[in-house]
A and B are shown apart, each in its own frame.
Chain A
Amino acid sequence: MSDKKQHIATIDGNEATAYTAYRINEVCAIYPITPSSNMAEWADEWAAKGIKNIWGTVPEVIEMQSEGGAAGTVHGALQTGSLTTTFTASQGLMLMLPNMYKIAGELTPAVFHVAARSLAAQGLSIFGDHQDVMAARTTGFALLSSAGVQEAHDFALIAQAASLESRIPFLHFFDGFRTSHEVNKIELLSDEQIRAMVPDELIFAHRKRAMNPDNPFIRGTAQNPDVYFQGRETVNPFYDKTPAIVGEVMKRFHALTGRKYGLFEYTGAPDAERVIILMGSGGETAAETALALSKAGEKTGVIQVRLFRPFSVEHFIRVMPATVRAIAVLDRTKEPGGAGEPLLQDIMTAYVQLLQKRVVDQLPIMVGGRYGLSSKEFTPAMVKAVFDELKKPQPKDHFTVGINDDVTFSSLDYDPSFTLDESRWTQALFFGLGADGTVGANKNSIKIIGENTDLYAQGYFVYDSKKSGARTVSHLRFGPDPIRAPYLLSQADFIACHQFNFTEKVEMLRYAKPGATFLLNSPYGKEEVWDKLPGSVQRDIIDKKLKFYVIDATSVARDTGMSSRINTIMQTCFFALAGVLPREQAIAEIKYAIEKTYFKKGRSVIEQNFKAVDVTLDHLYEVTVPNRVAGVGEITAVVPAEAPAFVQEVTAVMMAGHGDDLPVSKMPLDGTFPSGTTKWEKRNISDLVAVWEPDICIQCGNCAYVCPHSVIRAKFFHEDYLGEAPADFKSAFINARGFPETRYALQVYLEDCTGCELCVEACPVTDTKDRSRKAINMGQKEPILPQEQQNIAYFEQIPWNDRAEVNFSLVHGAQFLEPLFEFSGACAGCGETPYLKLLSQLFGDRLLIANATGCSSIYGGNLPTTPWTVNAQGKGPTWSNSLFEDNAEFGLGMRITADKQLAYARELLRQLSPQLGDELAQGLINAPQLVESDILEQRRRVTELRERLQYIDTPEARHLLSVADQLVRRSVWLVGGDGWAYDIGYGGLDHALASGRNVNVLVLDTEVYSNTGGQASKSTPTAATAKFAAAGKRVGKKDLAMQAISYGNVYVARVAFGANPQQTLLAMREAEAYDGPSLILAYSHCIAHGYDMKDGLNQQNKAVASGYWPLLRYNPALRKKNKNPFVLDSPRPTMPLRDYAYNELRYKMLTRSNPEEAEYLMQLAQELVDLRWKTYEDMAGQSAKAFAPVA
């Protein structure tokens, strides 16, 4: 047992795969992409710790600038004889395709591990299906599919062994999220087992084929029509042999481990008449369902495909019951326009071949279906629906299952109440907030149970799409046998709600089994809680006879010094109530886990956690459930009645968590969604909100400027408006002389406030009588909410100030511009969004945004609600995300359209001038459009043009009408993070800047890949740590500003709104006004820096004060006027770099893990800062002639 215990691990599919891959490779070249990133991160972490592979050497792990780069490096390492691997998914795999053809064409053994994920089509999705791997099926790679965590661990080895033997490269894939992120208990391969599977002679043969100057050859020639074809056919014998090799490898694996796999595996009745064929995790669900149905007498079976390519007809037919009558082939992908999806096509081809060869004497009924796109649930109920369909004489072909297709009626109906026997498991559901540590505690619980008892455990975690205030749902199963159930819980024995306000928002108890236990974190005790619950919740508790417990975990956490971290307390309650382990043992195991987690964090931290565990059970109470429903009302409506129809019918359904129920007809055809939907989602994620104090406010606008969620808004208006205002509507005399009748109001949108406190930090005013009171402070929301809701409604009726009357050039003035980017799901205190909000305020009504994939595309465009909105005239930013790598090119395309169609419109205006009137035509053609009043005037002319064109019935007039909007100057912005600008999109960005076109680039520089979890980019600074730079970044941050400046005609600015908001504003306006390419590098504090975001502005200040982030503007327009175009906006550094850097965990980490190296790198970083400052200072003192002339 003890031996076995050593080889037991409770881990997710990514770690399980990476574990094996790491042990059998020498080189790993990667690029982070969800959901595969963790595989590479594990490899990097193990390498950083010096963990060796089975040959006793530490693999080399390198992060590249893109997946294309990773594939190139893999190719190079393979060609020179290294055992090489990579991990990727989705768009990443797309970028690897060219190299994959090369690697396969050259018969190079290698394994790519893919956490299979959807491809961006009508929308991006980070979730799982097989679209990516199916796009790789023509590359010549073998495709091996694993269905669960254990298999992913095992197949990583089987793929490697088979690849070395066959010389065919393998793509080993498993379902993104469902397998990659499912935690399950597995048996780890021992090094001896791994070594036995990978004979040395195959490795020597691989190395022998490598490029070597001592044995030179040429590979990668250019071939011509005479021989290319024949050359392409040389590989055939290798493909022919591969299925048999894989079969043999699987047999060897079985002998070594006892775990048996086949190329195709059949489960179900031996005399099955109805058979489903599929790949991936869905195979487990289908197989378990087929088994259950066959036990009940149905003639059902499932074939799980393991080796999809090369497809072995021979192996396939061996496992198919001869009794089969009807087959459904399920593909987790979509091939629009195809005769069928890929697996269906192969099966059909196989059967035709078998018929022709008379192996079979007739064709069974064969239909294809699609399921599970983008991690859509695939449940036993859906499997049963497919089997039921196959009973029909003519089953539906090209069907879908799991959705309601009311457009082409492809979908099968299914009975969601059908489930397999789930009584063998204890099933538990936990509803929490991301920030309360629920998921972390549950991962911990699974480990405790999985690794310390004989029980099996499974965990899967569902997150919502927001980065702040995100909800999480944890699905946990425990039982005596391995758990093969890759789908969410539909029935739970135990439900825990970690946030009391969820009782009003989330229908949790619909998942409760009769007699289940419901644990609620409640500020109300066992006597009062009942009357605080909505009636629907009370009804469920009574009807289902639930055992109901409460604990005030928030108070227990506070009283035991655990701050807001309720996770340990709720975890203790779970163990006490769920009965998975005896209570005493469970508590001991929790404490052991605490000790293990915190042993380096100090005894007092451990004791603090122990104390929390010890006192928890004293505060856990069972509620005596009254037999009366007397709730405080029902679960509240998702959106108000005045929301637009689309929001009511579609968005609100998604917001309520019922998006799965939306039929196809409700989906926009082409991925086009209405703007401005976040306003309908009042998330109320913070109890503490900003509260304005008009009496001491100086109306500077700083708070509104820095608010990342556009929650603070200002207007000035005539005092007459106050006549109808609610009694407590706050306002003050405007802080300007000569306007005694003008009032100023600052309105906080409380329900959208995330409580980040940046506004308080930005407020320069302190009450002279009470130094703790500023002009804006954090206060409790609850007591003021009803009044403020009225105030907000009134504030919204006051018109926004006339843009022509607002002084755009000052921070004070900018607060009066309507933000057209609001209430995004970005992190509380986000350092990026204030720039976007400003962008929307300055140019929003004529703004086109090309947004690179990353944080900004997620909080900017993730459903259900999106923050880019419109003004009262219906105008506002139009936003699109193409990909990660192509954003500069994508945005350049927008510019070219604008330029081309503007030119065309002008050509047509000239042609139609006689009919339109010369004055209007010339006015439209020659409008300067430099300032807001010019633009207003041009908008007026365009309106007039449209009217006049109605009366001209010529093709030219109709064409002019279709492009007339282009006559108002468009502001094209290319937005993205440093991962895009410095790494994957750098080539395109460089080209866009060199194009000379009027594109404006805004780089939201967080200095790491923030969206995927803090991997290093070429923007990561020296001495900081990041994933893939755990030992501290040794190479300097790329000076993108200087590179752009070298072109001479690019406007460049480096800004930090927290340090100098005025300079940021100036730079944005100058960039936009400059008729050529512009690049703004915007310092963006980020949670990946490791400190409380409320200090973000302070850190920005220090970044500038230390000289780390010198503020500058390079304006080619000045060079044209024979002035020095390089303006240094920062004062000389006043503090050493370390005084800025060591406030952040990313820098501080190295001082703990390697103090000497930290010191060395910090000195190096300081030298870099000094050197760069000197260079900039020199440049700022030069004459115009020292800089490139501008054409």
Chain B
Amino acid sequence: MDLRTTYMGIPLSSPIVVSACTLSEDVNNILRMEDAGAGAVVLFSLFEEQIQREYRQYERAVAATSNVFAEAADYFPDLDEFHVGTEQYLQLIRRAKARVEIPIIASLNATTTEGWMEYARQMVDAGADGLEINVFWIPADPRVSSAQVEQRYLDIIAAVKSHVDVPVAIKLNPYFSAMANMAQRMHKAGADALVLFNRFYQPDFDITKLQVLSDLQYSAPNEIRLPLLWIAILYGRVPVSLAATTGVQGANEVIKYLLAGADVVMTASSLYKYGIEHLQTITGDLMTWMRTMGFKSVDAFKGAMSQQHVSDPTAYERANYIKILEGVKG
């Protein structure tokens, strides 16, 4: 059974990839992911804001208390060793690269142009095989137009690409007015892959305490439909790799995404829920399905259900909607 796939030019042994999550903070977990059959690992995201916030905390805690009082020039031992920059992340890349063979894709969320370029370069220098740009940004400012939002994505891609020589994926949100057009423009700006989709933080309210709740909900299988739709539409139309993420709990979702045209399928929620070794189960179930269906390789069915390949391409557009509604009526 041939599970091999290629993701933005990088050959992978399996289309199942661990998406950016905190499990990858520990290099031992990355080792376990490899052993359980992950094709690659996208490391947790390095947030520039986090670095800056930590730096500000550090400043408040240290600088504001240093050289303030005659008896104590400072309060902490050897602060040189306290890195609030990227060093810890880079160290993780280095250690992961030294211990596993599967590709390591670093994930970056910066806020400044310098940040995007500088951190991307550092990650590549540390050995990252590829980068995933994670533009986790809610354009809440009413003065910012959709055109500006789009341009910002394109600028980031161009900036990062101009500084690194490894493939670069961009993790998107699903809220572009013209997703297909945007995908095309991102490709032209230099993106090697699109990761569909980012799940924005969506708050809930505690109605007794009148507080905003910030708990994180794991994605559920019924959330795969939106990415599934867009992967199926974009497959074959925009010459970039496609990665599916969101809602992957087992092999069923993986299969669906691959059928839609994804080059890789990413999961994190299922690993939190069932453990890293769940990757083995997914892989096993995928292979069983392939055997049952008579597919010898992933390539044999990748994109088989994409818009290009289904018998009725309009099924992905308005007609599909009418059909569903009629089904409900009936």
Which candidate, A44-52, A354-362, A738-746, A1061-1069, is the interface stretch facing chain B?
A44-52
Q: Which residues of B contact A899 (CB under 8 A)?
A: none
Q: Is B61's CB within 8 Å of the partner chain A?
A: yes
Report the bound CA distance from A570 to B149 in whole Å: 38
Q: Which residues of B contact A1155 (CB under 8 A)?
A: 88
Nearest to B86 among chain A residues (CB) is A602
21 A-B contacts, Cβ less than 8 Å apart?
A: A41-B77, A44-B77, A439-B68, A472-B68, A602-B84, A603-B118, A603-B119, A605-B55, A858-B71, A1010-B72, A1011-B72, A1014-B76, A1025-B77, A1029-B77, A1087-B61, A1092-B60, A1149-B76, A1149-B82, A1152-B83, A1153-B82, A1155-B88
Rounded to whole Å, the gap between the CB of A388 and the closest CB of chain B is 33
**B112 contacts A604, CB within 8 Å?**
yes
Rounded to whole Å, the gap between the CB of A116 and the closest CB of chain B is 16
**B67 contacts A439, CB within 8 Å?**
yes
Contact status of A1087 and B81, CB under 8 A, knowing A602-B51, A604-B48, A1092-B60: no
Rounded to whole Å, the gap between the CB of A177 and the closest CB of chain B is 7
**B61 contacts A601, CB within 8 Å?**
no
Nearest to A41 among chain B residues (CB) is B77
Q: Is B115's CB within 8 Å of the partner chain A?
A: yes
Q: Is B64's CB within 8 Å of the partner chain A?
A: yes
Report the bound CA distance from A689 to B83 in whole Å: 34
Report the bound CA distance from A74 to B80 in whole Å: 30
Other contacts beyond A1092-B60, A1153-B78: 5, CB < 8 A: A45-B77, A603-B115, A1027-B77, A1091-B60, A1149-B81
Q: Which residues of A contact B84 (CB under 8 A)?
A: 600-602, 605
Nearest to B118 among chain A residues (CB) is A603
Q: Is A773's CB within 8 Å of the partner chain B?
A: no
Contact of B75 among A45, A439, A605, A1088 (CB under 8 A): A1088
Q: Is A435's CB within 8 Å of the partner chain B?
A: yes
Q: Is A437's CB within 8 Å of the partner chain B?
A: yes
Contact status of A1013 and B87, CB under 8 A, knowing A467-B68, A604-B114: no
Rounded to whole Å, the gap between the CB of B237 and the closest CB of chain A is 37
Q: Which residues of B contact A813 (CB under 8 A)?
A: none
Report the bound CA distance from A1054 to B48 in whole Å: 41
Q: Mark B63-75, 1 if CB is under 8 A from A, else 0.
A: 1111111111111
Q: Which residues of A contact B221 (CB under 8 A)?
A: none
Q: Which residues of B contact A1028 (CB under 8 A)?
A: 77
Nearest to B25 among chain A residues (CB) is A1155
**B61 contacts A1092, CB within 8 Å?**
yes
Q: Which residues of A contact B66 (CB under 8 A)?
A: 437, 440
**A443 contacts B71, CB within 8 Å?**
no
Nearest to A828 among chain B residues (CB) is B64
Q: Is A10's CB within 8 Å of the partner chain B?
A: no
**B210 contacts A600, CB within 8 Å?**
no
Nearest to B67 among chain A residues (CB) is A439
Contact status of A440 and B61, CB under 8 A, knowing A463-B69, A1014-B76: no
Q: Is A69's CB within 8 Å of the partner chain B?
A: no
Beta-carbon contacts under 8 Å, A236-285 to B: none
**A440 contacts B85, CB within 8 Å?**
no
Beta-carbon contacts under 8 Å, A596-640 to B: 600-605, 607
**B77 contacts A1026, CB within 8 Å?**
yes
Q: Which residues of B contact A601 (CB under 8 A)?
A: 55, 58, 83-85
Q: 6 closest A-B pairs (Cβ-Cβ)?
A: A602-B85, A434-B68, A1013-B72, A439-B67, A1030-B77, A1014-B75
Q: Which residues of B contact A1121 (CB under 8 A)?
A: none
Q: Which residues of A contact B75 (CB under 8 A)?
A: 1008, 1010, 1013-1014, 1087-1088, 1090
**B76 contacts A600, CB within 8 Å?**
no
Q: Is A768's CB within 8 Å of the partner chain B?
A: yes
Rounded to whole Å, the gap between the CB of A559 and the closest CB of chain B is 15
Report the bound CA distance from A607 to B75 in whole Å: 27
**A600 contacts B69, CB within 8 Å?**
no
**B210 contacts A771, CB within 8 Å?**
yes
Report the bound CA distance from A1146 to B74 in whole Å: 13
Most buried by A among B61, B66, B69, B73: B69
Rounded to whole Å, the gap between the CB of B55 and the closest CB of chain A is 5
Most buried by B among A49, A126, A600: A600
Q: Which residues of A contact B59 (CB under 8 A)?
A: 563, 565
**B68 contacts A435, CB within 8 Å?**
yes
Q: Is B323's CB within 8 Å of the partner chain A?
A: no
Q: Is A1145's CB within 8 Å of the partner chain B?
A: yes
Nearest to B122 among chain A residues (CB) is A603
Q: Which residues of A contact B29 (CB under 8 A)?
A: none
Rounded to whole Å, the gap between the CB of B197 and the closest CB of chain A is 28
Q: Is A766's CB within 8 Å of the partner chain B?
A: yes
Report the bound CA distance from A602 to B71 in whole Å: 31
Q: Which residues of A contact B71 (CB under 8 A)?
A: 34-35, 37, 126, 858, 1011-1013
Q: Which residues of A contact B252 (CB under 8 A)?
A: none
Report the bound CA distance from A12 to B233 in whole Å: 69
**A45 contacts B85, CB within 8 Å?**
no
Q: Which residues of A contact B32 (CB under 8 A)?
A: none
Nearest to B119 among chain A residues (CB) is A603
**A1091 contacts B57, CB within 8 Å?**
yes
Q: Which residues of B contact A45 (CB under 8 A)?
A: 77-78
